[in-house]
A and B are shown apart, each in its own frame.
Chain A
Amino acid sequence: MRRRVFLVAGIVLVLLVVTVALVSLFWTPFPAADTTGGRLEGPGAHHLLGTDKLGRDLLTRLMIGARIAMAVGAGAVALGALLGGLAGLLAAFANRWLDDTLAALLDILIAFPTLLLAMLVVAARGASLGSAIVAIGLAMAAIVARLTRVLAKRVLAMDYVTAARTSGLSWPRIVTAHVLPNIWPTLVVNLALQFGLAVLAEASLSYLGLGPPPPNASWGRLLQEAQSTVLTAPVGAIAPGVLLVVLVVGVNLLADGLRDVADPTRRRHR
């Protein structure tokens, strides 16, 4: 029962950010590049949350940041799930030699932290929203691939799969009929957690100045810009961080809740 509360709380928090992101597509208080406000104004009637050091409306920038966070999270997860899922299945089905090689490669890629990999990709492609998604998605693919491989191998070792194989079922059919239905709950929970990590990774990337450039900048960039003016304009250094935490906590609660729904045996623990 308590778990159900967490699941609902997670859904509410995520929906909150999703709504803000969707609204920002159609309406923001000011245009993104509008610099007509005073510099570092405090919260007031005209600019609800105040302005940054170039006179841009903070609320507007936060709303656009929500859109970017969602785009990066969704894009990176989609890319990571597709590439990682395929690579993981390939390794699980491959012969011993290819499987060992892929497993070792994945271990190295995972030892290579997301952020460093992302920095290399950004260095190659230039800082943009697309680079951030590709970079984080690629790093995520390695993690998803390793998980998929382990899960798929566990299913492939089952007697009913051996039976299916000996009865001549093709391997695409085995994947759709036996492997995917058994592994997707665990995968989905993991992808939800990865969504949160992707948002955090993008924020770090942007903080280092390697994310999408302004005016359509992410929360990480807003924090970096606000760092030097934290004494005069504290809202700018607090609000983006709070939103980041809201989104990531929401996604994590959602993942925890989903796990309990997907796997009843875990419920007795807490």
Chain B
Amino acid sequence: MTRYLVRRAALLVGTLLLASIVLFVLLRLLPGDPANALLSVGATPDQVAAARHQIGTDRPLPAQFGHWLGQLATLHFGTSFVSSLPVGPEIVSRLAVTVPLTLAAFVLAVVVAVPVGFVAAHRSHTWYGAVVGVVSQLGIAVPAFWLGLLLVWVFALHLRVLPAGGFPPYGWSTPGDAMRALVLPVVTVALVMAASLIRYVRSATLDVLGSDHLRTARALGSSFVGAMWRHGVRNAAVPVVSVLGIELATTFLGAVVIESVFALPGLGSMLVRGIAQHDYPVIQGVLFVSTFAVLIVGFLADVAQRLIDPRLRTGRL
């Protein structure tokens, strides 16, 4: 297991490095000169050159890349081309919105989806199973932003019980307001996530329920719950955990759209602004942090799978 952890961590670092190269190159392929964002129309070539020198885009690409990597190694993300403010602290302050949103939605989705999916599989031939099937089929087709819009309509504009959007100016120092601001976004994201999770939980459970070893355990006299606990849950958990990892990552990145529905000052809106202004350090910083989060989640999901399924550890499958 230790050897596996070391190898998997090395892969993580390698992928991250590769990802940062891809990110860097991809950004430089974008047309448009970020120096122009700093200048007014009709700037002289000298001024453009000076602006390029000031933000460092006149240096050769490998040098720029090396500089950026050096900054990353010391946990600095550089300063914005446009505002000249350091990117790191802004990312941190925006993570304070995006991370709670993602994690709360994730937890809520799991708490809803696991029991619902399990029971839907157990009672797959009753009306309950059919209803769950239809609802989750609908759920994966509903765009998150539309669901958000409908929830705002009902709960914020009609019933007036929750705010329609925005985040309190003092953030988490007014925890009540901050939490109220996140209720609708969290529910929106959680419902969309739960819809697809239910399908996976249901089909993983169905696979286990139809397996020979579970039938044998039942034949030997185990109760349904006992058999499920000893022989079923672990088996069903392996595919579900890998999907959970993907879902968590997708949600974190999908927050871009939900944040704009609810006008939340998260990473998403920072990225949209960065793209519009050709602000490379901002785009690089946000995307790097996002990629890092996605890769870490993948890492944790892989490790969790190995802990659950000993066959993955011995390589005998």
User: Once the chains are docked, how many angstroms separate the CA of A103 from the CA of B39?
Assistant: 42
| Residues of A contacting B152 in the complex (Cβ-Cβ under 8 angstroms) | 227, 230
Contact with B along A91-125 (1 / 0, CB 8 A): 00000000000001101110111011001100110
Which B residues between 261 and 310 are near A, CB-CB below 8 angstroms? 261, 271-272, 275-276, 278, 287, 290-291, 294-295, 298
User: Quick check: A119 and B294 within 8 Å, CB to CB?
Assistant: no
Measured CB to CB, the closest approach of chain A to B260, in angstroms, equals: 6
Q: With an 8 A cutoff between CB atoms, is A46 at the interface?
A: no
Which one of A107, A124, A200, A238 lies within 8 Å of B15 (CB-CB)? A107
User: Once the chains are docked, how many angstroms separate the CA of A123 from the CA of B32?
Assistant: 10
User: Once the chains are docked, how many angstroms separate the CA of A112 from the CA of B249?
Assistant: 10
Measured CB to CB, the closest approach of chain A to B211, in angstroms, equals: 12
| Residues of A contacting B92 in the complex (Cβ-Cβ under 8 angstroms) | none
| Residues of A contacting B30 in the complex (Cβ-Cβ under 8 angstroms) | 120, 123-124
Q: With an 8 A cutoff between CB atoms, is B22 at the interface?
A: yes
Q: Which of B93-101, B136-144, B218-226 participates in binding chain A? A: B136-144
Interface of chain A, main secondary structure: helix
Which one of A105, A113, A249 lies within 8 Å of B18 (CB-CB)? A105
Take A104-B15, A105-B18, A252-B141 as given contacts and tell me if A223 and B272 are in contact as well, using a CB distance cutoff of 8 Å: no
User: Quick check: B290 and A115 within 8 Å, CB to CB?
Assistant: no
Measured CB to CB, the closest approach of chain B to A123, in angstroms, equals: 4
User: Quick check: B15 and A249 within 8 Å, CB to CB?
Assistant: no
User: Quick check: B254 and A113 within 8 Å, CB to CB?
Assistant: yes
Measured CB to CB, the closest approach of chain A to B296, in angstroms, equals: 11
Q: With an 8 A cutoff between CB atoms, is B145 at the interface?
A: yes
Q: With an 8 A cutoff between CB atoms, is B29 at the interface?
A: yes
Q: With an 8 A cutoff between CB atoms, is B206 at the interface?
A: yes
A-B contact count (CB 8 A): 114
Which one of B149, B150, B153, B256 lies within 8 Å of A116 (CB-CB)? B256
User: Quick check: B149 and A230 within 8 Å, CB to CB?
Assistant: yes
Which one of A108, A123, A220, A237 lies within 8 Å of B143 (CB-CB)? A220
User: Once the chains are docked, how many angstroms separate the CA of A260 from the CA of B295?
Assistant: 34
| Residues of B contacting A112 in the complex (Cβ-Cβ under 8 angstroms) | 291
User: Once the chains are docked, how many angstroms separate the CA of A270 from the CA of B129?
Assistant: 11
Where the two chains meet, the residues of A that have a C-beta atom closer than 8 Å to any C-beta of B are: 104-105, 107-109, 111-113, 115-116, 119-120, 123-124, 196, 200, 203-204, 207-208, 220, 223, 227, 230-231, 234, 237-238, 240-241, 244-245, 248-249, 252-253, 269-270
Where the two chains meet, the residues of B that have a C-beta atom closer than 8 Å to any C-beta of A are: 14-15, 18-19, 22, 26-27, 29-32, 124, 137-138, 140-146, 149-150, 152-153, 157-158, 203, 206, 210, 249-250, 253-254, 256-257, 260-261, 271-272, 275-276, 278, 287, 290-291, 294-295, 298
User: Can you list the 3 inter-chain pairs with the closest CB atoms, starting with the nearest?
Assistant: A248-B141, A241-B146, A113-B253
